[in-house]
Every structure is written in C-alpha cells, then in structure tokens.
Structure 1
Amino acid sequence: MSSCCGRNWLPRPDRFRKTCQVCLPPSGGDMKIRIACFGAGYIAGRHLAALAALPGVEIVGVADVQVERAQLYADRFGGRPYADWRVLLAAERPDAVYVCVPPFAHGEPEQALIEQGTPFFVEKPLSTGPELPEQIGAQAAERNLLTSVGYHWRYLDTIERAHEIARQNPPRLALGYWLDFVPPPSWWLQRQASGGQMVEQTTHIFDLVRYLLGEPVRVFGAACRGGLQRFPEADIDAASATTLQFPNGAVGVIASACLLHYSHRIGLWLYAEHLVLECRELALTIESPQGNETFAPTADPYVLEDRAFVHALQTGDRSVIRVPYAEALRTHRLVMRAMASAEQGEPLYV
C-alpha cells in the first residue's frame, strides 16, 4: 500500500528554508501520543520523518502489503512493521493513525478507525469516486472525530500571503495547471485505481482555487481519453480542462496533462486589476506596476500540517487544522463534478 503516487518529484525537506518556529502551533506539552501509519510509500515517509521529530510523539507501527517497506520505516522511525493494517490496529491500539494508502485502498481503514473512535490524518485524494467519502464524512461528523487531510499547500505562508492579497484585490481570472509526467506506480494509469490525474494530482489546484477565490457555482469539463501511446494499458485521461464560474462573475480554467517527460507547470495564476499572483508550491510571485516580488516559503508545509494535527491531539484545539475531512470533502465534490461534466459533455452546477 504505497502512498499517493509514490513519485520522487515531491519537494524534499531541504528545498524549504529552515522551519520557522513562529509558524508552528505550540507544543502540547509532555502528553505522549502513540501514532501508527497505514502505508509505507514516499509520502508516508515524509510524514513519519516529521512526526518522529516532534516532542511527545511515539511511532508504534507501520503497515504495508510490501512488509519490507514497512520494515525500513519502522527501523528508521520506530515501531513494529506489519503486513496488514488490521493486525497493527488490533495489536497496537494507537491514539491516532496516518492513512497514507493509494486512492483505491481508502474506505475500510477510515471506517474501522471511525468505529473505534480513533482520530486520523488521511492523505488525498479521499477516494476515486464520489460516494465513499460522503459516507466517511458523515460517519466522522456523527462521531465528532478529529481528522485532517493532506492538502499541504494550505499550510504555506506564501499561500496565506496570496489569500490576503486576493481578499483585498479580488481576482477575475484564475488559470490553474498540473502539466506533468506519468508517475511510476502501475495503478496510477488505471481510472478505477487512481481516479485519474484530476483526482490524484490536480485536486491540489482545485483546493487552492476554492481557498483563494471561494466556491464555484458551475463547472464545464472536457477531457482527452487518448494520447498515452507509451502506456497502452492506460485508461485515464491524457489531458483535461475545466472551466469554473464564481458567484462574483470571476472565471477560472484548470488544465491537467500527464503527457510530458518532466514537471512543466504546476500552480495557480490569479489575475486582478493591475495584479498577477503566481502561486507555486515553492514560490509566490507578485507582479504589479511597482515591479515584481518573489517570496519563498519559510517552512516545510508537511511539518506544519503534522505538527498541527499532533497539537490538536495533545490539546484538543482543532483550530490549527486547516483542512479537516469535511473541508477536504468540499474539494473532492468539486473534482467529482468536474469529472462528471467531462463525462456528460455539459456544464453542471456545483
């Protein structure tokens, strides 16, 4: 159960400046939190590294169907390796769990944790389709369970800066992109397993446009089903584009493509009067008549989101969690409507 797309282009910790302690929520004190992880892919390793460095955290187990991967992380960060997350859950009874499994593996782990009342952090996407996350969201809300979802761009201080600027200067046009290459895992090419690029990767851009512009009221999607000739087994879209309409009249277009041999363009460009905001993961560029300014993030967003989750566990203060499950579900619904619009060939209200 390797996590997310398991690729190596994801930002390394050393690509961010030294984490600014001011940006982090305060420690919850000496309260010990026992955390387990389902999945032992790349993104699980990012979270485990951040968690292992936090005071009061003990890693008690890592589960993956490729148990040798779980063994590597257990040796490095602590805990025991397991081939089955169910065995881990019964044996270790952790205080919280990180669910870092591929899109097709969501559902049973979250439902088991909800049944036990165990808080969880889950990596995006929530699933490959629309129904399962709605069920999980309703069940988690009914139990008032502490949750968090890995839309880590929300924790970037550069995105906070963009949010404040956009609030004062409402953008009228948004252009979002995830133009990239096909990641290594074979399951990524199968719609049933990954949901496709819009679900598995571009969901970050859909989440960002919601955060910076608000909720769209209508979407119109189109997709190219062919084009990946190097991967005859693929049944995902090679490219797609979604037009969005916002209540204030603003419009947006979010484009996806996995046709390339490198990460060509990933981010969101916002256009207001005499203003351009170029929002990328590793930089924010502001263009105005006074000139251009570029800002780099001051902290690793993975560290920030993990410390926020641990802080909430230790103190009960959920205000530091920027994307609980209910908020992530709103982004997932938007992506599902965009997918449905492309399938049906007509605009849909959100």
Structure 2
Amino acid sequence: MTEGTQRPLRVGVLGCANIAWRKMLPAMTASPDVAVVAIASRGRERAEQFTARFGGDPVVGYQKLLERDDVEAVYVPLPAGMHGEWALAALAAGKHVLLEKPAVLTRDEAERIVRLATERGLLVQESFMFVHHGQHAAVAKAVADGEIGEVRAFTAEFGIPPLPAGDIRTIPELGGGALNDVGVYPIRAARLFLGDDLTVVGAVLHHDEELGIDVAGSALLRTPGGVTAQLGFGMAHGYRAMYALWGSAGRLELHRTFTPPDSWQPVLRLERQDHVQQRTLPADQQFPNIVAAFVRSVRSGDDSATHGRSLLRQAELLDAVRAAAGRA
C-alpha cells in the first residue's frame, strides 16, 4: 500500500553523485511510495551503471530527463554550483525538486528558485536529511521538558578529513569549500533549536590559496534574546559531528549528529550540577525518513511555503557568514 493509497511518486535523478549511490537511491528504491523512472548523467556509461543497480531508464543529458512526461519530481545531487541552473530548469519543466544541500550558494539564487516554485505551485525542498532523524526530536523534548532549564547557548561542530585531490567539493567553480559542504550543517542545527531569528555576529573562514576555497571556519550567531550559537566546521580535520545545548540548569550533548549510520544508537549525555546521565536512543534511518517526508509534502501540497522560507533563510545566513568573514 503506497502513501495515501496513491501510486508511487515518479522520480528522476539529475546526476550520478556518490551520495545518490550510497544513500539516497537505496532509500528511494526501498520505498513503496517512490518509483525511480530515470537517471541522467552526462555520459551513458555512468547512467547505465546507476540504472543497472537502481532501475529506471539511463538518460544522457539532464535536459532530456526533464522533458520526460513520466517524471513528476527530480532529485538533484549535482555539485552545489550547478543547483541553481538545474533547479530552475526542473521547475520550469513542471517538476517538484529535492535539492541536495546546500540548495543554493546565494540568497539571490534562492529567491529566483522559490519565486518560480511558488508561481508554478511546485515544491522545492533542501535535502537536510539529518533533521529527519529521531534523535533530534528526543533532544527537543528534553529541552521542552525543562531538563536543562532555560537555554543559554548552543554549540555545534562538523569536521571531516582532507578530501582527495580533484574531489568536486574542493573545486571553487562548482561551489566547493568547507562552509558550503559541512558548515551548512551546524547552521541548520542552530536554526532547528534556536529558530530562524538569528543574526551573524562574527565569522572566520580559513582560505586555502592553492585550492581557492575555504577549508575551515567558525561563526558566532545570536538570537534577539541573547542566546548564542558557536559553530565550527572544516574539511581538514579529524571526523567530528556534535552539538550541545547549555542551559541554566544543565547541559545536553549529542555526537554523530549529522551523519549517523542506520544502526547507530545515539547516546544523549545530560550533565547537571550533581550528576551525569547517559541515555541510549533508538537507531533511526534519516534517508528513508526524508524520502517519506518529501513524498508527503508533494502529495499534500501543504509544506511548500514552509520549505521555501527555510531555503531562503538558510541562504541568507550563508551570505551573512561570508560577509562577516570578509568573503562576500
């Protein structure tokens, strides 16, 4: 039985990226609510490699896929610097769009995409899969239940080891760099727990002159009430993915927050004045969860405006971090 007894959402994929191969396409093909009907690449061999595993028709050229009448929605895992062009093309072709993060590189680009989606009555959603993992709801509940008192500060860090030479995430023309690739996660996490009314107080981006990209950075944000968000990120680091909420009566900390394996059982650490408690949370699967959420949003049509606003706000904060770091 598919979502709401409807037929599966017919999805096409623009680009044969690693994240599509490892994570998103396995989640889509496992869902009874999705039918992958076509996968496009610039070359036939790559497209055929993907369709041999995941099904659908191999298509040479992204525009060719968008011209197909049997595609209702597209997933776009192309390099970030290509998202704007192909998101607009997909919307113009009447397709709903799931964009890998970062959805766009600037607010101006976000505005054009959201405006067209609104005009066409289509959904455009940024693929922040981690927000669909159940561990964050558990953290939100603990905070809402007053387990750390009033929130005073939020801290988040995401770092990964150096990437191999030629990796698309190191190519400036394709939107490479630490802020775009990993810095977006702590920013989105700050929005998840502190809301969207955040101001960038200051930022630093460490620029690698040889690569032509930022490879590390940090940013300080604050809410109107003075709650701060200290964010760190980089792509020349030992792996680390965590956040913490520090309150008037205690502190909550969670690790492996952004890229947990499906079998990972998160451990929520709660520190109070007189004791430390550790809670093991259930494992969850964030990629199947975001696939299900995307299908629901397409079918209901209720979340389009919310996703549009979220995409715009994320892009605004990225612009603000660059400006504060002198990289606008």
Same-fold call, TM cutoff 0.5:
yes
Q: Give 1:225's aligned residue.
A: 207
Q: Give 1:207's aligned residue.
A: 188
Identify the match of residue 234 of structure 2 among 257, 273, 284.
Answer: 257
- Structure 2 vs 1, CA of residues 193 and 126 (structure 1 numbering), >3 Å: closer, same or farther? same
Q: Give 1:192's aligned residue.
A: 173
Contact residue 99 and residue 123 of structure 1 kept, 8 A: yes
Alignment of 1:29-68 (within 5 A): 29-45=5-21, 46-68=23-45
Identify the match of residue 216 of structure 1 among 198, 214, 235.
Answer: 198
Q: Give 1:305's aligned residue.
A: 290
Q: Give 1:328's aligned residue.
A: 311
| 2:198 aligned counterpart, secondary structure | coil
Contact residue 176 and residue 205 of structure 1 kept, 8 A: yes
Looking at structure 1, the residues matched to 296 and 206 of structure 2 have their Cα atoms a distance apart, in angstroms, of 44
Identify the match of residue 273 of structure 1 among 239, 243, 248.
Answer: 248
| 2:326 aligned counterpart, secondary structure | helix
Superposed CA RMSD in Å reads 2.4
| 2:5 aligned counterpart, secondary structure | coil
Q: Give 1:16's aligned residue.
A: none
Looking at structure 2, the residues matched to 238 and 77 of structure 1 have their Cα atoms a distance apart, in angstroms, of 34
Q: Does 1:73 align with 2:50?
A: yes
Looking at structure 1, the residues matched to 305 and 51 of structure 2 have their Cα atoms a distance apart, in angstroms, of 29
Q: Does 1:138 align with 2:110?
A: no
Shift of residue 106, structure 1, vs aligned partner: 1.2
Tell me which protein shows more strand as a share of its residues: 2
Shift of residue 326, structure 1, vs aligned partner: 2.6
Shift of residue 94, structure 1, vs aligned partner: 0.3
CA-to-aligned-CA distance 1:194-245 (integer Å, 9 cap, x gap): 242112212011001111012213421122224xxxxx74111232111112
Contact residue 218 and residue 246 of structure 1 kept, 8 A: no
Contact residue 66 and residue 93 of structure 2 kept, 8 A: no
Q: Does 1:292 align with 2:277?
A: yes
- Structure 2 vs 1, CA of residues 284 and 143 (structure 1 numbering), >3 Å: closer, same or farther? farther
Aligned partner letter, 2:180: V
Q: Give 1:103's aligned residue.
A: 80
Looking at structure 1, the residues matched to 224 and 33 of structure 2 have their Cα atoms a distance apart, in angstroms, of 45
Structure 1: gaps spanning 5 or more residues: 1-25, 227-231, 346-350
Looking at structure 1, the residues matched to 135 and 223 of structure 2 have their Cα atoms a distance apart, in angstroms, of 23
Contact residue 156 and residue 231 of structure 2 kept, 8 A: yes
| 1:174 aligned counterpart, secondary structure | strand
Looking at structure 1, the residues matched to 291 and 42 of structure 2 have their Cα atoms a distance apart, in angstroms, of 24
Q: Give 1:171's aligned residue.
A: 151
Aligned partner letter, 1:267: M
| 2:230 aligned counterpart, secondary structure | strand
Shift of residue 30, structure 1, vs aligned partner: 4.0
Aligned partner letter, 1:332: A
